[in-house]
Chains A and B, each alone.
Chain A
Amino acid sequence: MLEINNLHVTVDGKEILKGLDLIVNKGEIHAIMGPNGSGKSTLAYVLSGKEGYEVTAGNLLFEGKDLLEFSPEERAREGIFLAFQYPVEIPGVNNAYMLKAALNAQRKHRGLEELDAMEFMALVKEKVKLVQLKDDLLQRSVNEGFSGGEKKRNEIFQMAVLEPKLAILDETDSGLDIDALKIVAEGVNALRSPERSMIMITHYQRLLNYIEPDFVHVLADGRIIKSGGKDLALELEKRGYDWVREEAA
């Protein structure tokens, strides 16, 4: 589904990713862990097409297509979803309205009928239960005045409605208390499917207790320096990152 080869990315003239390789197959969940500043969020933004991230070498293939040719909206319509580390507040833009516009843009791209307001609200009612988001938040401006936990849940809720093929969860767990984390994890688990792949970027092993990955990768200094199964996460939790770095060096 996703193939990243020798990816080099520069931000403001500084090289952040220095030859990253990663293959994600259909239905797999990959956890990417690593110390601060290792390039985790850069990877998330490059995949979703944010401006200011210059790919100087390597390539990104999604279902065989060159992602770098696509705008952020085209990537979303192809089925890529980013759950933001810091979801953006957008005053004046209604949450439900935004999501309906997004869903219909994606459906149109895929040659499906657009949903009318009634059909959309029925879908929303069903999906909103997944993350226990209060109804009134849907009628507020996007993320405006939401608590940290509500913002993260809103991201997962959007993911549930948009049903992406590849979801990138950028530190979705950070800043959440254990109850909120459980709700978010349950939501994500409910969205697991053989058709859907996920990349979970995280700093903490804790999340992986609730969402079990198929693979764990260590990202350090712009490269994946070690990959393994879920046990690797436990070892990282115990021993930190230095031993992996030494091993890699």
Chain B
Amino acid sequence: MENWLQQFAEHRERLPGAQQPQIRALREESIQRVADAGLPTLRDEDWRYTSLQPLGRREFKLSEAVSPSLEAADLEAFRFPELDTWQMVFVDGQFMPGLSKIEDLPDGVIVHDLASWLVDENREALMLRNEANVLASLNTAFMVDGAVIRTRENVIVEKPLHLIFITTAREGSFMVVPRIDLRTGANSEIRVVENFVAMGAAQSLTNTLTNIVAGENSRIEYYHLQEESKEAWHLANIFVDQKQDSRVIGHSVSLGAALARVDFHINLDAAGGENILNGLYMGKDRQHTDHHILIEHLSPHTRSEQRFKGIMDGASRGVFNGKVVVHEGAQKIEAVQSNRNLLLSDQAEVDTKPELEIYADDVKCAHGATVGQLNEDELFYLRSRGIGEEKARALLTWAFADDVISRMALDPIRQTLEKKLAGEFSRTEQFDDIRDLV
């Protein structure tokens, strides 16, 4: 904790918007809340299985303006082949205009880097939410850069917006604090890809916050793709507020980081709102991954669906907690939640807890969780055809994961991930192109 306060004292004058009284006040309030509340501990119900204590012991320095010699060619590895996108690149937390492509956006779309947004006196106020959340407060206190995205009503943004957050291997531990603020106008449509990647064994702490407000009858598809370095920490809070008849589809994929914790807070507070959330998390070695989802059905005629799958290998640990709350008077609700986990080793562990709290009577809710191993009958069937045991296991594991990936609407992202997963699961045998016959 001392480290955070010290970092704040050191940086408060330099943080973007330091000259703006409201921003300044906002940061001061936030750091005060962090100081008062402290980091969550295992005694907090929401943090029972994930300890942040090691965070308090490491001295993460807030990443300051750097100009790493990154060139456009270095980014190729992180782009999706044949996917034409608008693009914002952040290196160790800083926006890199030279590597980004957000000029010539169509009318009715605003995409802006957060740092200059914060110093602009005429800016619209940032959305703030859930001040009780310490990590969110920490983000507000330190937010360095990120993206502000707006669509005007009736605007369909054809090309997806790809946000690439790159961390690099530098000396010592450092902290990056991105913030994404997305608001859509009525009847508009946009797809946003948040992509967290690393070059080398970055010892980084990412504490990211995404605020989404989906306007009436708008449609958003967003991706949270976490492929941080295996030395990194990844903490994410994603808040979604949905207006009437809006539809938000989220895809969450968590592959990297020593410790990853992703929290979704979804508010369905107007009729007709629909939220669909697909998730895949994987762990190897001693990786720890924790997903918490809170869905609040505040209005009648809202619908939510979460399908999360976990694949844990080595001595990794997966945590899933999904809570669906149907508030009083919120009738005609449909809520589906499932969490299925595959354990590939004896040392891997999963703690899963789907929860339903229902205070209305005319609702349709279903939830379930499973933890299991590969099906022996399926394995034998494949082997009895001549497929080697390792390949059979890889194939079944891949199929388990692909069930999530295959729901992605953006084919190039789906294909890239499928290839990546095939490589992950097949240790020695080569997969031929898994999709060549599909």
Contact = CB atoms under 8 A, between A and B. Distances in A.
Interface of A: 48-51, 71-73, 75-77, 81-82, 84, 87-88, 90-94, 96-106, 109, 117, 120-121, 139, 141-142, 158, 162
B67 interface: no
17 contacts: A49-B384, A71-B383, A73-B388, A82-B384, A84-B381, A88-B381, A90-B382, A92-B399, A92-B402, A93-B382, A96-B437, A97-B436, A97-B438, A102-B382, A104-B432, A142-B381, A158-B385
Tell which of B382, B384, B391, B438 has the most Cβ of chain A within 10 Å.
B384
Contacts of B384: 48-50, 72-73, 75-76, 81-82, 84
The interface residues of chain A, by DSSP majority, are classed as helix
B399 A91 contact: yes
Contacts of B389: 71, 73
A192 to B, nearest CB: 21
Interface string B383-397: 111111101100110
Contact of A139 (B377, B383, B385, B437): B437
Contacts of A49: 383-384
Given A72-B380, A97-B434, A77 B386 contact: yes
A121 B438 CA distance: 12
Interface in B420-438: 432, 434, 436-438
Tell me the dominant secondary structure on chain B's binding face.
helix
A98 B382 contact: yes
Contacts of B438: 94, 97, 139
Interface of B: 376-378, 380-389, 391-392, 395-396, 398-400, 402-403, 432, 434, 436-438
Which 7 A-B pairs rank lowest in CB-CB distance, beginning with the nearest? A92-B399, A76-B386, A102-B385, A72-B383, A88-B381, A106-B386, A105-B386
Given A93-B382, A120-B437, 14 more contacts: A51-B380, A72-B380, A73-B388, A73-B389, A75-B384, A76-B385, A84-B381, A88-B377, A88-B380, A90-B381, A101-B387, A105-B386, A105-B391, A139-B438
Nearest to B397: A92
A93 B397 CA distance: 10
Contact of A90 (B388, B399, B403, B436): B399
Nearest to A80: B384
In this complex, the member of B382, B392, B432, B437 whose beta carbon has the largest number of chain A beta carbons within 10 angstroms is B437
